[in-house]
Homo-oligomer: A and B are copies of this chain.
Amino acid sequence: MAQAKGPERLGESELIKRYFAPLCHPDMSFGLSDDAAFLDLPDDMRLVMTKDMLVADVHFFANDAPDLIARKALRVNLSDLASKGAEPLGYLLGLGLPLDWTEDWLARFCDGLGSDQQAFSFPLIGGDTVKSPERLTLSVTAFGQVPRDKVILRRNAAPGDQIYVTGTIGDSALGLLLRREADRYGALDAEDRHLLLDRFLLPQPRMKYRSLLRRFATAAMDISDGLLGDAAKMSAAAGVALHFNDAAIPLSRAAQNMLSLCGISRDVALTGGDDYELMFCASEQSHDAIMASAAELELDITRVGHVTEGEGVFLLDQTGKELALTNGGSYEHF
């Protein structure tokens, strides 16, 4: 469907040639000279695919730094691959550009792509560029590979399994509050503020945990919609109940400071989105080996709960009594 043109600027072919062709993988995408990309998979590997769409002012702020928007779009997809123990192979980029895009903006966006492509060995292999008049809209399809016998799904969580998380929970949800209304949280010092904001703006996909997941995890997913909300998804997929020990859930020092100094409910950390930590389950017999392996590899892993028969997600105090959430336990952000 032909379109009225916006202000005179680069056409699609020139835009691809100038900005995207330099980012692409030569063997899979032929300099982006074709509509299709190609991939050969080793015989013993299985392809893993994941797709995350990001919309301006829904998933990021339209005025965030362009390189950070680009890196976040790649990283949320890398995080999905990490949760499946997958080695990244490359990505397709669907780029919906708003009418007011500029070449300067696009150059900085592509710098972000380039820097993370290199950091994660994750080349561009194809895509599509369209007009998205009101809002920048990104659709990244990421590809990775796992050995054929290592398919780690949410739905394989089993009664008796222990539940683990990587890193700390809730930093990004608090970073989002700071991004929205910095002035409101003046009690927090600059270092804590910077740490939490950075966790929101630039997720750290937990790639280095993949070998441990491949070795021990019965089930895994990344935490992108809040710990307890994502736990509800795993519970539904596996048909089991997930019980979390509230006191065991690891919060960073910065998060603890912000909760106490600014009078914010701990629920915000447990139900807020965008952590991009990993949650996984493993059999109880693996526990000592997991902790030994984590220590050896300098991985930050905490046991936070366990799986039983039943359904739903339960947050327990130290006596095993169920805690209610002040926000009513509505974990879904759609």
In the complex, chain B residues whose CB is within 8 Å of the CB of A83:
35-36
In the complex, chain B residues whose CB is within 8 Å of the CB of A49:
36-39, 92, 125-126, 141, 143
Q: With the chains together, A125 CA to B143 CA distance in Å? A: 14
B-contact bits for A39-78, CB 8 A (1 contact / 0 none): 1110100111111111100111000000000000000000
Q: Chain B's nearest CB lies how many Å from the CB of A51?
A: 5
A125: nearest chain-B partner, CB-CB: B49
Q: Is residue A2 contacting chain B, with contact meaning CB distance below 8 A? A: yes
B40 with A126: CB separation less than 8 A: no
A130 with B55: CB separation less than 8 A: yes
A268: nearest chain-B partner, CB-CB: B2
B-contact bits for A194-226, CB 8 A (1 contact / 0 none): 000000000000000000000000000110000
Q: Is residue A148 contacting chain B, with contact meaning CB distance below 8 A? A: yes
Q: With the chains together, A172 CA to B320 CA distance in Å? A: 66
Q: Chain B's nearest CB lies how many Å from the CB of A179?
A: 9
B133, B141, B154: the one within 8 Å of A51 (CB): B141
In the complex, chain B residues whose CB is within 8 Å of the CB of A39:
46-47, 49
Chain A interface size, under 10 / 10 to 19 / 20 to 34 / 35 or more? 35 or more
B153 with A34: CB separation less than 8 A: yes
A5: nearest chain-B partner, CB-CB: B334
A33 with B237: CB separation less than 8 A: yes
Q: Determine which residue in A38, A39, A125 has the highest number of CB atoms from chain B within 10 A of its CB, and name it.
A: A38
A80: nearest chain-B partner, CB-CB: B35
In the complex, chain B residues whose CB is within 8 Å of the CB of A114:
none
A60: nearest chain-B partner, CB-CB: B1
In the complex, chain B residues whose CB is within 8 Å of the CB of A80:
35-36
Q: With the chains together, A34 CA to B238 CA distance in Å? A: 10
A51 with B84: CB separation less than 8 A: no
Q: With the chains together, A35 CA to B78 CA distance in Å? A: 12
Q: Is residue A127 contacting chain B, with contact meaning CB distance below 8 A? A: yes
Q: Is residue A18 contacting chain B, with contact meaning CB distance below 8 A? A: no
18 contacts between A and B (CB under 8 A): A1-B59, A2-B273, A11-B332, A13-B332, A33-B236, A34-B153, A34-B154, A36-B50, A36-B83, A38-B49, A39-B49, A40-B47, A49-B141, A54-B130, A55-B131, A58-B133, A94-B139, A141-B141
Q: Which residues from chain A sit less than 8 Å from chain B, CB to CB?
A: 1-3, 11-13, 15, 30, 33-41, 43, 46-55, 58-60, 80-81, 83-84, 86, 92, 94, 96, 125-135, 137, 139, 141, 143, 148, 151, 153-155, 176, 221-222, 233, 236-237, 272-274, 332-334
Given A33-B154, A132-B137, 11 more A-B residue pairs with CB atoms under 8 Å apart are A33-B153, A36-B81, A38-B47, A41-B41, A49-B125, A53-B94, A58-B133, A128-B139, A132-B135, A133-B134, A139-B139
